[in-house]
Amino acid sequence: MAAALERWVSGELQELLGMSGRHVPAFLVALARRSRSVEELLERLGETEALRVEEPRVQEFARELWGKVPRDPPKEPPGRAAERAALELQRRSRGYRPVESDDDDDGGGSGPSPAPHHRRRHLRRRRSESPENDSPAPSPAP
């Protein structure tokens, strides 16, 4: 794409000036790429004194060139992305609320206490070898 654009600029310069240099088209494309508007491009062309920007043909050339140059999206400074991520994290963390646990029995929660849980105690029952022997077995003598 860049080579085709430079060939087009070279042909236009040939018509405007009657000549075209080897590096001039690349320079003009770079100048147009850095310009934010056609007016800025015309101002920069006027500063170089390479073309007479008062001429309507030169102004038309600048408009066409500025329209044909591909634009890169504005680059974000590296610290800006980290700052934006930190702000997003802060925004999300403000929306978090403490979670009330179902295991809390002290009733210290801020909301209404849930209905009491009916818990069964799980006790280990002692197995006996015979049903008539309910007393604990004597410990062996040392």
Residues 124-138 have a mean pLDDT of 62
For 80-95, letters b (16+ CB in 10 Å) and e give eeeeeeeeeeeeeeee
pLDDT in tens, 88-111: 999 988 888 888 877 655 555 555
Please report the pLDDT score of residue 88 as a whole number.
92
Residues 31-36 have a mean pLDDT of 85
Mean residue pLDDT of the chain comes to 77
User: Tokens at residue 126, please?
Assistant: 């002692």
Answer with the residue of higher pLDDT: 72 or 49: 49
In the predicted structure, residue 26 carries a pLDDT above the cut 80? yes
In the predicted structure, residue 142 carries a pLDDT above the cut 60? no
Answer with the residue of higher pLDDT: 74 or 23: 23
Residue positions counted in the chain: 142
Answer with the residue of higher pLDDT: 42 or 1: 42
Q: Is the pTM of this model over 0.85?
A: no
User: Tokens at residue 26, please?
Assistant: 């690349």
In the predicted structure, residue 56 carries a pLDDT above the cut 80? yes
